[in-house]
Amino acid sequence: MKEVEGRLFIENIPVIDLVKEYGSPLFAYSSQEIKDNFQKYKREIRNDDLICYAVKANSNLHILRLLSELGSGFDVVSGNELRRCLLAGADKNKIVFSGVAKSSEELKYAIESDILSINIESLGEFKRILEISKQLNKTVNCALRINPDITIGSHKYIETGSKTSKFGLDDESVTKISEQAKGNELVNITTVACHIGSQISDEDLILKSLDCINEIADKLLDDDHKIEFLDIGGGLGIQYKDEDKGDPKLLLEKVKDRLKGKNFKIILEPGRSIIGTAGILVTKVEYIKKAGDKKFAIIDAGMNDLIRPSLYQAWHRVKEVEQREIEVEVYDLAGPVCETGDILAKERELKILADDYVAIMDVGAYGSVMTSNYNSRLRPIELLVTGDKTQVIRKRESFEDLISLET
């Protein structure tokens, strides 16, 4: 995103032109920003290493297709995310299936699809995989997802590697699964995996988890398991405000140094750091409202469109779509949803009037993918911008769409 002569642009298109043609609110993504962010990883990996984009960050088919064309693999957490990836043309040999609650139907579909690996998150899941692979008489490659008991200091809802987290296996479970899988002709343990959370700015925390899974992988090799991959997860953060952001180059330099003399291939699962900075949410200022000493900009996008500020107390930059030569004022951006918590930004200095437009920045990850129909509100249109071209990649919902499953 750039500002030229008082107007906000996404690639070569003024954002105000998108609003005039497609209405508000809208999500827009820069394809060049996605490509540039992906290349930050691709430049640093070795030939046999894999980048498996975390689909949960943004699962739009067109974005998955773009990443697949760039050579990305995918990390999925549901059967339908897997279906999305295959529909988008993903290489099945570059797909890993994470998540703690995979149903029998999802596991069956994944095994039949011959994907790269399925994460084992519990003894119960391991037993279910054994049963299904036996029923299908198909071999399946699996990863042991380890819980390393590492906290990262971000929001508690996105901490996934602590001892009390629902994710991953403890030492006792790893030992039991290793013993039961040894010599089994249908279930192969080929990967040791770990994902400690999201919005990580300190690469050394990921290295700490790498040390943990590296040690476990060596033990599994000693037990005759053919470990091929170490999956270090994702989680590198972006800069929403003034916090430090993760550095893919620095991380991968340290990873490669750590693994000198080892034959393990690396899997990474970046999501936010690829798509986060590529997206904006454009919204109209419906009214300016004063309440005591506070001023509200009442906007047409709400917490149903962007849940992060309400759910995680997340901070997003806000920019005027067109600059005005007026006095700056301090506003809270309040949405239309009937909840006191429907505030998308607090205490922002802006030069705006009613009927102006603002862009909420860095919403490419965990933005549109977490939208809802709360208050019977319709999900926004989504656009992919490439140079001076715009593609509608998700239509704006209609009332007929909203009630289609109820009639």
Q: What residues act catalytically?
A: 338
Query: Which stretches of 223-289 are DSSP H helices?
Result: 248-258, 272-275
Please state, in angstroms and as integers, the Cα–Cα distance from residue 113 to each residue in 48, 64, 107, 190, following that order: 22, 18, 10, 17
First-last CA distance in the chain: 42
Say if residue 25 is preceded by a cis peptide, omega within 30 of 0.
Answer: yes
Find tokens 């198909």 and name the residue: 138
CA-CA-CA-CA torsion sign (14, 15, 20, 21): positive
Enter the DSSP assignment of 356: -
Inter-residue contact 146 to 213 (CB < 8 Å): yes
Enter the DSSP assignment of 380: P
Backbone phi and psi for residue 10, each to the nearest 5 degrees, phi listed first: -115, 115
What is the rounded CA–CA span in Å between residue 171 and residue 259?
22
As given in the structure block, the two tokens for residue 254 are 């340290």
93: Cα within 13 Å, side-chain hemisphere: 3
Chain centre distance of CA 133? 30
Length of the chain: 407
Please state, in angstroms and as integers, the Cα–Cα distance from residue 283 to each residue in 163, 297, 356, following that order: 41, 11, 9
